[in-house]
Amino acid sequence: MPHILVGNFRRVILISGDVVGVTMILVTGGAGYIGSHCALKLMEAGEDVKVFDSLELGTQHALDVLGREFPDRFKGFVKGDLKEPEDIRRAVTEDVEAVVHFAAYSQVAESMRNPRRYYENNVIGTINLLGAMADARVGMIVFSSTAATYGEPVYTPIDEKHPKAPINPYGATKLIAERIMQDYEKHGIRSARLRYFNVAGADPKGRLGECHDPETHLIPNVLKAAGTGKEFSMFGTDYDTRDGTCVRDYIDVNDLAEAHVLALRYLRNGGRTDCFNLGTNGGSTVREVFAVCRDVVGEDIPLKECLRREGDPAVLVADNRKAREVLGWEPKSTLRDSVARAWAWERTRP
Ligand code: UFG
């Protein structure tokens, strides 16, 4: 039967338009906050998805949602640890077309206290994954990277050419993993490395949301204070910004997930290894975020102004033009949308 070959030459599309052969996407860390939203979005876009996760930070709830929402497209779950080469080999089977790689530790402060934990999981784990991909001849990876690869901004908004000088082990591990992926292009693995700014929000239908323990992020912490009546601690009110608090670029998790679907399409269309900032091109101060949260919640939230948190740059805002132009990405949600969905999740989450 006539057919054409696209992508890494292992995906076969018949003239009739039907896809046969290997079309499954492996999502590492697919039971975590961002990974589960992306797995859902991939299946909404018609992809078959398999999840690899250790469940150390990911949740059974997220897996239940993926299986319940898409019983035909959710192709199963492999429980394993990326640091164990045999575990990831069990997941990277020959029917996998591409990998979307989230599995990692991502707490900046913890990475300062325990760098080894970060280098082992985020760097050696990625090496194990790439080795398994090379052996199974899986030729595409979309990678969850971070604005922390840039370090202290030299100019803002930050574009992809900005110097990369991470100031904490977390950012360093992601930059090293990016570099390793770049070197694998010559060995048949192309990568789209996506540098997230501040990810926020939850699924609009309330199925998934953020669950970190301990929680360090701004929006969930403000909403927790609203829910429990405990004071929210605002770190640093003497920065050189419009109201003295830090400016961050909050990108909605659903818009972020959409960028992964587009990055996969980019690689399928033959796109070269490249990196893309995922942010909104704009920023909000901590006080502005707090005000939006108070507005959404509809009542006062107890607030304590505290000293600066170590390692927080004053301003981190993305220049996202490259993702718009090359991937055709267009973030749609407002900060208020993200906060409203996060608040809905906070009140109903299991
Ligand atoms: N903040 C508070 N109180 C809190 C939590 C945060 O005032 O309880 C402030 C922080 O000091 C900072 C802002 O809110 O000014 C945002 O802090 P987050 O912890 O929500 O996010 P970060 O900007 O520190 O970190 C994010 C990602 C990291 C990534 C980093 C890139 O969470 O994974 O951006 O620099 F590394």
Does the CB atom of residue 198 touch ligand 1 within 6 A?
Answer: yes
Q: Which atom of ligand 1 is nearest to the CA of 108?
A: 36
Q: Hey, what's the torsion of the CAs at 173, 178, 181, 185, to 10 degrees?
A: -160
> In what order do the strands lie in the sheet containing 19-21?
3-6, 11-14, 19-21
Query: pTM value?
Result: 0.94
* Residue 202 Ramachandran class (φ > 0 left, ψ -120 to 50 alpha, else beta): beta
| Residue 194 bridge partners (DSSP) | 144, 276
Residues of the chain with pLDDT under 70: 1-22
For ligand 1, pick from 156, 170, 217, 224 the residue to mutate: most ligand atoms within 8 Å of CB. 217
Q: Judge whether 170 counts as a catalytic residue.
A: yes
Q: What is the pLDDT of residue 12?
A: 53
Does the CB atom of residue 199 touch ligand 1 within 6 A?
Answer: no
Distance from the alpha carbon of residue 316 to the mean position of ligand 1, in angstroms: 10
Q: What is the pLDDT of residue 3?
A: 39
For ligand 1, pick from 198, 212, 219 the residue to mutate: most ligand atoms within 8 Å of CB. 198
For ligand 1, pick from 164, 199, 218, 256 the residue to mutate: most ligand atoms within 8 Å of CB. 218
Distance from the alpha carbon of residue 317 to the mean position of ligand 1, in angstroms: 13
Closest CA to 348 of 201, 209, 199, 200: 209
Does the CB atom of residue 309 touch ligand 1 within 6 A?
Answer: yes
Burial of 277-313, coded b for 16+ CB within 10 Å and e otherwise, reads bbbbeebbbbbbbbebbbebbeeebeeeeeeeeeeeb
Q: What is the pLDDT of residue 346?
A: 92
What six digits make up the tokens of 335? Answer: 């900060």
Share of the chain above pLDDT 70, in %: 94
| Residue 285 bridge partners (DSSP) | 247
